[in-house]
Amino acid sequence: MFITRHFKKIFIFTICILIMSQPSFAHECLLKDTTPKEITIYNTCLSQQDSKVNSLKKKYYEMERTISKLENDNIILRNKLLNFKKKIYDLLNNF
């Protein structure tokens, strides 16, 4: 239950970040003229947009990996806790 609540919060947070970052992509790169200067400006604009998209994708995949690692760590810790509880229960019953 903790995992699903935690996952839902992170998922909602991720969606909010993606939605808030969308206005930065609203700008369109327009080629105004065929002069070398305008072509350079246009190409720079395109590369900046690509780098923003790639950066967001990278952050998203890193967050997915982190969530997965945290979920696995959570399972391991729960198992350790259960083993510890069992040992305490056994010790108390042997008294």
pTM > 0.75: no
Q: What is the pLDDT of residue 22?
A: 54
Give the integer Cα–Cα distance in Å for 25 and 75. Answer: 39
Q: Give 24-62 pLDDT, tens digit per residue.
A: 545 688 888 888 888 888 888 888 887 877 888 888 889
Q: Write out the two tokens for 56.
A: 């967001």
Give the integer Cα–Cα distance in Å for 34 and 71. Answer: 53
Are 56 and 18 contacting, i.e. CB atoms less than 8 angstroms apart? yes
Q: Does 9 have pLDDT greater than 80?
A: no
Q: Give 54-95 pLDDT, tens digit per residue.
A: 888 888 889 999 999 999 999 999 999 999 999 999 999 987
State the DSSP string of 25-86. G-PPP----SSHHHHHHHHHHHHHHHHHHHHHHHHHHHHHHHHHHHHHHHHHHHHHHHHHHH
